[in-house]
Amino acid sequence: MDTAWLNFLPPFLQGLLVSAGIGLILGLEREHQQQAKTLHFAGLRTHPLITILGFVVGFISDHYFPWLLPAISLGFAFMVAVAYYVQANAGSLGLTSELAILLAFALGVLVSVGHPGEALAVAVVATVLLSLKDEFQWFIKQITESELTAFIRFFVLAILLLLLLPDRHFGPEDLMHYRELGWIIILISTISFAGYLMLKFTGSERGIFLTALLGGLFSSTMIAWVFGSRSRELPVLSRSLGSGILLSSSILYIRLPLLTSLFSKAVAVELLLPCGLMLVASLLFIWFYTRREESRRTETTALPLGHPLDIKNALWFGVLYIGVSYFMYYSREWFGESGSYFSGIISGLADMDAITISTAKWAQQTDAVAYSANMIIVAALSNTVFKALVSIIRGHSGMRRQMIQGFGLAIIIGLLWLAVRLF
């Protein structure tokens, strides 16, 4: 945390103000949670006093008496333990308030040793956790045993992948990295699990579209893979999942000009027209198709949710990622990277960011603005074709026509724009 704006104050007063602020953050939340109780333990005034106590004790211990901090800490912990014992005898067995008090003292000490930013970050996270008590209790009541098991499996999978996978590269010229591959599998599992939860708690279409929008910010290819698999599991939602795939893919047409503008504004301007046309066409198609599906529904029934976590699907995507990466590597080895359009087609198969950034930088150095814009659109079309194939092959037969029409519309617009430019 940068406290330069407090430089007009002595360091001690800076720490004192930050400690008091941290205590107020925790105290406000505790006071609000306990306001319905006739008697409550440590509220708005107590927490700032405790963080100030921790700061003062840490400051004195650091500058004058090193023994003071451990002595006061033991005494303070004993006092909190006695308070808990008294409340437990009165029938209150919760430890939350007592732990919040100990945390407030520790954060005051943390500020005193020169880490105000870290202390404030911990206070914010702790306050969020404390304030979500009702939401956590509601969530636990809603989930089933199988969903809880899937939730545990998800975290076990994440921990095992990150701990067991070695931190080293493999493949020709260190093409792949074990832990990077693990993160990709975790991300696929996260998208799948998040989509399930949104489907459960927000309804079918809203949950699908929220997952598509959020997932599209990271990788619309992953959304195509996950939603395609989910459509086989839930055929009744195949058309809604298809609209989600198209919505996620349309985010690419926003990302391309924005990302390119960071390195070459001239190329970004060139991309505005084709990306804008493909974006508008995709959104209009999604809107029209969704409205048409809504008009065909005659009754609302409880929809199946499928499996919360599909680990096999995530592992298969990892295999696909390895295969595409090797294909791209050997294609470049055989055909070179001299700026040909074939290079753009290969590069756009799985990773649009890399080809977009490298092409924009190259344009800034060579002033080949028009050519660079063409290259990025070629890569985008390649990426769109790849997602269309993933959706058609992985998806339920009920969404294939929708995928062909939706992706085909964007591809035709991109090809027409390229044809006008090239011929």
User: What pLDDT does 302 receive?
Assistant: 47
- Read off φ and ψ for residue 219, nearest 5 degrees: -160, 110
Find all residues with CB under 8 Å of 270, minimum gap 6, and list them.
Answer: 369, 370, 372, 373
Specify the pTM: 0.59
Q: Are 359 and 376 a contacting pair, CB within 8 Å?
A: yes
> Could you give the C-alpha distances from 319 to 3, 179, 187, 310, 316, in angstroms and in order?
48, 14, 14, 15, 5
pLDDT tens by residue, 129-179: 888 877 777 777 777 777 777 778 777 877 877 778 888 888 877 777 888
Distance between CA atoms of residues 410 and 277, nearest Å: 8
pLDDT tens by residue, 42-99: 667 888 898 999 999 888 988 888 888 888 889 888 888 887 777 777 666 667 778 8
Compute and round to an integer the Cα radius of gyration of the chain: 28
Residue with token string 């921990």: 159
User: What pLDDT does 413 receive?
Assistant: 93
pLDDT tens by residue, 293-319: 665 554 444 445 556 666 776 777 777
What type of residue sits at position 286?
A: I
Average pLDDT (270-299) is 81
Computed over every residue of the chain, the mean pLDDT equals 78
Please state whether beta strands 169-170 and 176-177 pair in parallel, antiparallel, or not at all (unpaired).
antiparallel
Distance between CA atoms of residues 259 and 380, nearest Å: 13
Average pLDDT (388-393) is 88
User: What pLDDT does 350 receive?
Assistant: 61
Closest by CA position to 253, among listed 278, 273, 270, 286:
278
Longest Cα separation, the chain: 86
pLDDT tens by residue, 72-88: 889 888 888 887 777 77
Closest by CA position to 318, among listed 195, 157, 172:
157
% of the chain surpassing 70 pLDDT? 80
% of the chain surpassing 90 pLDDT? 6
pLDDT at 422 over 90: no
Q: What tokens were used for 91?
A: 């029938």
Q: Are 388 and 399 a contacting pair, CB within 8 Å?
A: no
Place 395 in a pLDDT band, splitting at 50, 70 and 90: confident
User: What pLDDT does 169 receive?
Assistant: 84
Q: Are 119 and 54 a contacting pair, CB within 8 Å?
A: no
Q: What tokens were used for 248?
A: 């996620």
